[in-house]
Structure 1
Amino acid sequence: MSEPEKRIALLIDADNAPASKIDEILVEVAAFGVANVRRAYGDWKNPRLKGWEHVLHEFAIRPIQQFAYSKGKNASDMAMVVDAMDLLYARNLDGFAIVSSDADFTPLVMRLLTDGVKVYGFGEQKTPVAFVNACSKFIYLEALGNDRSEPHEPSAEPVAAAPVPAAANAGEGAPNAAPPEAAPITPRSSGELRGDTRLINLLRGAVEAAADEQGWAMLSAVGNQIANRASFDSRNYGYRKLSDLMKATGLFEVKKDGKSSAVRAAPRKASKVSKASAKRAEAKP
């Protein structure tokens, strides 16, 4: 008997998210369960949100009107938090998908997690690291929709890539202008990946924990190890698959093992100084 599909509540901070990415977001959410609750919050009288109008109808998203009661305050955030807690107490959901680049939702995410539900975050690269790492899995919107030719490899639920410092809220600036979309994420170079100490330590630790006596670990097991340790998605670094990311670091070997893949830490090359010292030791009587 198959397990029932997980029920997900999709809550969108329309003031802080682009309408153009909703299709890709729903595809991602569908991998975790059914988004049987779909709500978008904002002041729908604001011309900035006009781009959401056709999206709401097309994807059956319920608009929640929230007036801006005072200048500089985002009442939509408060409405989302109240609704999220009401949905949590109803006890008929398995997870939440929160679409926003606002770090103010970090306490909400942490509260939801304490009740054992998964929280999937979606936001732009400007999203503060506290919100990114609080989620069970966080995906940058710029990483979605770049390559839809084949499904992405199920990777760890995903530490996210080191985010760009938090930028101003989307609501700031020209009052009637929609925020410009950020450029797609490009793959990080080997040097950039190696320079990310947190990432490398996470990958090495996961491989070591899942490795056999020869040092090889099944890639799926490595992904599970990462999921239990941090919020992570290889696409946040510009790589569609976890295996591609590990290869790109130059620090791991990846091989096919039947229909699966295995990975291990690449043997460290002995330095010239070490080789010279070894030769001198051999030459001594």
Structure 2
Amino acid sequence: MNKETLYIAISNQKGGVGKSALTTIMASYLHYNNMKNVAIIDCDYPQHSIFRMRNSDIETINSNPELQVALERQLEVTNRKAYKIINAIPDKALTYAQEIIDSSAENIDLILFDLPGTVDSSGILNVIFNMDYIFVPIIADKRVLQSSLTFIMSVTEYKRASTLPLRLKDIIMFWNKVDKRESTELYDFFNKLMLAENYRLLKTQLPDTKKYNKELALDRNIVFRSTFFPPDKKLLKYSNLEEFVSEISKIINL
């Protein structure tokens, strides 16, 4: 019997917290390293940054013979073709997700949704409550933290008050872009607030490092963020990505 496909979103109502980058990196790590069948629904209108990255990756690979050889070698070793990235408006996101599941010859383990930065987008609330889990990246910025907490409180209260069965099982925050040189005062205060309010927070923190910005380029073969390659093993050290993916995989039972 096929296992039900999981719907996951790395989402936040504030920009600049890394949700699209982490969605791409996590999808590539799971698909090419952990051999999980994944797909991405990019409904982050109007940026559609992940869909645009796929097109940029294609252009870069087509212009770089070394990357073409690397991609062919990866396919020979892993037999992993590129995962699907679908460009969608929120109203169509769930329909496209089901079409991916129905049309795939293999069971799709996980579909990641890149959501818009506002709940005011048409159809976005329906998408939010049809996720299995939402993971919210937060950074040490008071405005981001206030916005993130408001978003989580609103979703949680709506879920508690709803008389209808909702697919959403949990919404969990995690620290991103953590700079060890910063004061721990804001982190400590927010962690205590989360604990007091009974909201969940991942143990894994992601550091503030330029590694997460290393994309495919004509003059760069070592990458961390790509839709065709997993993060380079040389760059995984001190990135906490492996711990991040492992912790999430245990939570969602992937």
User: Which TM-score applies when normalising by structure 1?
Assistant: 0.34
Pair member with larger Rg: 1
Which structure shows the higher strand fraction? Answer: 1
User: Which TM-score applies when normalising by structure 2?
Assistant: 0.37
- Quick one: higher RCO (CA 8 Å, sep 6+), 1 or 2? 2
